Amino acid sequence: MSGASPRRAFATVFFRDLRRQLLTAAQLTLFALMLVVVVLVVIAPKIVGSGGPSAPTVHVSAPDDVVAAVEGLQPSWTVTAAETAPDDLGDGFFVAVDDGEVTVTTAKASQAASALLVGEAVSTAVLAVSAGTPPPSISHAFAVDDGEAVLSRIITLVATLLTFSILTGRAAWTFGALGRDLTLGLFDGVLARSSAVGLLGGRALAAVTAGVVQMLVLAAVAALTLVVAGESDTATRVLVLAAPLALWTAAGIALLVTASMVLVLLFRGGGTAALGIVIQLVGFGAFGVLIVALLDPSATWIAVASVIPPVSVVLLPVRLAEGAATGVDAVIAVGAIVGAVLSLFILALRAWRAATTTDSGRATWRAIFRTDGMRRPSARATTRRRQAPG
């Protein structure tokens, strides 16, 4: 039986794997959970802000001109004149001004910090009235816009964790699928004589395409949610960040998938289960490195390691999200990862052909690096038949 052509083998595997990675019930469920996480992270600040305490209610026992001065100082407060404290203060404040002393009463001791602020505002009003001058206005000056810093850190955290999830998810799926194929003996017979380039290339590109599609959909949903929430500027930042992250996701998936192919082919003879445990441990280690990088993304070691594969797969998204990656960094990182992917893919082809032309059940390093290791299995089989006696 003649083997399938490279183009036909590629198309068959590519569309089959792409459908399984995007449209199966399990994959759709997992992706839906990711969408929910993105939406919740986007709207969480709005929810928290709307659920916070409103402008305080302040009951003031003081002359009318002092009460009016407090209202002028704090127009957002609800200020009322009162001789005594209400029976139920709730979250409000009762302020009594007597002989130059300001006493603030609250329902709970935990309101001490807020009570101090209210007392200072009333004290300022008393001084302004007694001096016969208008109450001074209150302005807010700051040296660092920590709100912008917090927003940037949230974007970095969400973007890098989603990138990490997509990278590891696509690589794990490919590892499991290839391991099942080998366990079921799908390298025997027709597939063993098919195009390794078509089969492995189709599987790798399917994982890359699925990952990029997921990244772009997540970015679009996040941006749309931000626009609806009235955060158009932040939505623009998310969309601008989505393009480089999607490209890097593609490169990272290609690296991890080709590495998985090599490892599965090398451990074909029943060792894939143990190898899966090792890969999970490596994944946990990579997640730990990511968390450390998120704590101090400007560290020198991150700048250096973010261009060196395989750790660049985890670290470069952190620098991209922080806006710290330069053009030179991107060129070096992309060049290094493209070289690593091509090297691993060639190694996977050799491991494939070595595995499908031996009876030991797995590819050995000696068989992989033989000078004839890139020949088609069918040609080797034909040579053996010609040399057989009788």
Q: Along the 390 residues of the chain, how does pLDDT read in single tens digits?
A: 345 577 887 888 889 889 988 998 888 898 898 888 888 877 766 555 444 445 788 888 888 888 888 888 888 888 888 888 888 888 788 888 877 678 888 887 767 777 888 888 888 888 777 776 555 444 444 445 555 666 677 777 778 878 888 888 888 888 777 777 766 655 544 445 567 788 888 888 999 999 999 999 998 998 898 888 878 888 888 888 888 888 888 988 898 888 888 887 777 655 555 666 666 677 777 777 777 877 777 788 888 888 888 888 888 888 888 777 888 888 898 899 999 999 988 888 887 777 666 655 556 677 777 655 444 444 444 344 444 444
CA pair distance 314, 305, nearest whole angstrom: 10
Task: Assign 3-state DSSP to the chain and report helix, strand, coil percentages, each to 5.
Answer: 70, 5, 25
Q: CB-based contacts of 152: which residues, under 8 Å, 6+ apart?
A: 322, 323
Q: Which amino acid is it at 197?
A: V
Cα torsion 121, 127, 130, 136 to 10°: value is -70
pLDDT of residue 68: 87
Q: pTM for this one?
A: 0.65
What is the 8-class DSSP label of residue 333?
H
The pLDDT assigned to 352 comes to: 76
What integer pLDDT is reported at residue 140 of this predicted model?
A: 43
